[in-house]
Structure 1
Amino acid sequence: MFSCFNYKFEMLGKIGRPDASSSKMARFRHRPHANPLADNDFQFPCTGPDEFPFDLYYPVWRKQRNAGAQEGHFDIVDIGCGYGDFVRNVSLAFPDLLTVGLELRDIPVVLGQQALLDGRANGQNENAAILRCNVMKHLPRLLARQSIKFFTIMFPDPQFKASHARRRVISPQLLSEYAYYLIPGGFLLICSDLRDLYLYIHSTIAAHPFFCEVQVKEISGSDNDSHAIETILQLMDRTADAERHMRKDADKTVYKAVFRCTKPELTM
């Protein structure tokens, strides 16, 4: 069972690891890639969406949230969040939206959580958290159906080998699962610095019956949707991956796309 001690070990990253402070990140060595088909030997904080300990991960936000803020559900889910640059930035841009970043590798999770705690010490990032999560196995435990407004997938691992195709976070099977968790009319936003990978991702999503590509100017609905998507697309350029790409690669393009979930509303 998940306990407060386990929460502190994961969230603070300090118990038994005194080098986990944000000023000593260089001491950490981490894997650049992980195998989602094998990396599952770790504790997850809940067995179902109703059991997630929001009071532990978002203690201040739960007390100070606006009356219109959604209770008990996430608004923005960043899949493969890495060290959480986007999670921290988007939580500042939308303080009334509950944001969670999901990452499989353990050390980026610890360092990302520590960076969030550093922000919270300054009264920021109260609406953000980072979890160690295998999205191929844990999403049913974490997310309620038709509850997510925005999914973001940024700079995913290419998994170029044919034998690694099942590890990709964009596949017809996973897209059906993402559509299940998105509210009708919710959005999936993607970006990549690799053109061939972007074209593969784009074609895979475009071929799925529950998603259609939209341009920001075409978004019908509230002005908040258009503003939120524009902001998210801008924040994609402020991640460590984007900045590294702009600094080192000859092609400075970050390829982006927005897809709307077109599934019918589930009433059962």
Structure 2
Amino acid sequence: MAKRKRTQATSSQIENFLLPQKKHYRQRAHANPFSDHSLDYPSSPGVIHWASHYPAFHDTGKIPEFADIGCGFGGLLIALAPLFPDVLMLGMEIRVQVSQYVEDRIAALRVTASESSAGIDAIPHDYQNVSVVRANAMKFLPNYFSKHSLSSLFFLFPDPHFKSRKHKARIISPTLLAEYAFVLRPGGIVYTITDVKDLHEWMKVHLTAFPLFEPVDEETLRKEGKGPIIDAVYTSTEEGKKVQRNGGDKWLACFRRVQVSRNS
């Protein structure tokens, strides 16, 4: 009798089996940032046990350097993780089901990496440098990030809040820009992208008017080696892919945190 040949699952088969399905995490597209969402949040960045988020980095002293505000289903985090394996990245998402999906997705990808390292098929990255928290960034951003701790802040396809009376809920506003400038180190970059021209202009006007930010064009950032980040900003999110499928426009605007010189 012929000996039965053993077959090995590929990393793709393992990943498809383990990854969560979005259909089980359905939720409204947007959430009211002014509502009481019964969130637990740290009293300060210093009390956060980052090792629980990034166990592979527990003895390095590293803290998150990239922050994706309103990370949605985590497309940007998953795209950037292999490109910057030594950079810790944190997604912030207010919707409970969506943030749970991202958490489960990261856990599944880490297990996939573990299975691959056990001798199945190698995959390029273990996703130990990405994590997510359910949080309202409009209220609690300084509770997670200390002064000048971030090098990149991402606002990708944020809720446009079309009605004028809702503009105060937009994630880019004069009040919130002070917080973004606080957590972003000098030279750090704010990345914004949207398919809504009015929102694009709104974000540009407010960021340009704020004294601690200056506009930086895409060509300059690519020359500085940030091309892979720009590409991920354009293409990695669910919203970005939808706009691309529908043949819509994407409006990118990036700003650099200004170094302030103080005269004695």
Moved over 6 A (4+): none
Residues 211 and 263, structure 1, Cα contact 8 Å, conserved in 2: no
Distance 2:92 2:52 in 1: 17
Structure 2 counterpart of 1:195 = 197
Number of aligned residues: 232
SS in 2 for 1:233: helix
Structure 2 counterpart of 1:120 = 110
Structure 2 counterpart of 1:17 = none
Structure 2 counterpart of 1:205 = 207
Structure 1 counterpart of 2:148 = 146
SS in 2 for 1:136: helix
Instruction: Point out where structure 1 has 5 or more consecutive residues left out of the alignment.
Output: 1-20, 66-70
TM-score (norm 1): 0.81
Q: Aligned pair 1:94/2:74, yes or no? A: no
Quote how far apart the aligned CAs of 1:216 are. 4.3
Structure 2 counterpart of 1:18 = none
TM-score (norm 2): 0.82
Residues 263, 171 of structure 1: alpha-carbon distance in 2 compared, 3 angstrom cutoff: farther
Alignment equivalent of 2:260, drawn from 257, 264, 268: 264
Quote how far apart the aligned CAs of 1:206 are. 1.1
Alignment equivalent of 2:29, drawn from 25, 29, 32: 32
Q: Aligned pair 1:240/2:242, yes or no? A: no
SS in 1 for 2:198: helix
Structure 2 counterpart of 1:47 = 43
Distance 1:109 1:187 in 2: 24
- Structure showing greater Rg: 2
SS in 1 for 2:137: coil
Quote how far apart the aligned CAs of 1:102 are. 0.5
Distance 1:40 1:29 in 2: 17
Distance 1:41 1:181 in 2: 24
* CA deviation string 1:42-82 (max 9, x = no partner): 222x211111111111101335x6xxxxx342110010100
Residues 154 and 192, structure 1, Cα contact 8 Å, conserved in 2: yes
Residues 39 and 104, structure 1, Cα contact 8 Å, conserved in 2: no
Instruction: Point out where structure 2 has 5 or more consecutive residues left out of the alignment.
Output: 1-17, 114-125
Distance 2:75 2:129 in 1: 14
Q: Aligned pair 1:56/2:46, yes or no? A: no
* CA deviation string 1:80-130 (max 9, x = no partner): 100111011111110011100001111110001111111111331100001
Residues 106 and 127, structure 2, Cα contact 8 Å, conserved in 1: yes
